[in-house]
Amino acid sequence: MKSLKVQSTVKSLVCCLIFLLSLSTNAFSQQTPQRSVTRHGNWASHCTVNAPVSCYIVHNVTLGDNPKPVLIMAIGRPVNNGTDLTSLILTLPLGVRLPEGFSLEVGPSLRRKQQFERCIVSGCQAEIQVDTQLLQQFKSQNEGRVVFFDAVKKPIAIPFSLKGFTKAFGRVTNP
């Protein structure tokens, strides 16, 4: 009798474990959306393949033979932000001079002074709302630059390309 009871208990435990494993596998697959990456000139769109579909675009700027980016620009719409606001997150390397912030320059007329919001392991960041003027300048120009100061107050200008931006940005607004 005890043997039958033990077998029944073991079978129940095995069934429960199999059920729990299947639940955790489903939960894991739902938490990690599959992504596709498409190049558009110097910009790349990163889009989820499964629902909900969303996209953001990225431009990594490197200098010389160093493969490590000195400027990362990511543009997208935060999921569930309740609005159609689009944000640009700009990341510069650690070691920039924080009090002076930086200047985002595109074309002959757009010069925006910005402050850094945070520094993390990958660099110092600012989040900039993409308004109509900024978007039009990005779409109509070929390049821009970010000007910041290093630790000894020396100005540094990092140019960035806008080649492919318009097509890439279309993925943000129309995934």
Class of domain 35-173: mainly beta
pTM of the model: 0.76
Q: Which of 123, 106, 110, 17 is nearest to 70 (CA)?
A: 123
Interval 131-145: pLDDT, tens: 999 999 999 999 999
The per-residue DSSP string of 9-72 comes to: HHHHHHHHHHHHHHHHHHHHHHHS--EEEEEETTEEEEEESSSSP-EEEEEEE--TT--S-SEE
Q: Which of 37, 49, 97, 42 is nearest to 72 (CA)?
A: 42
d(CA 95, CA 132) in angstroms, rounded, equals 32
Interval 29-56: pLDDT, tens: 455 668 788 899 999 999 887 777 788 9
d(CA 144, CA 137) in angstroms, rounded, equals 9
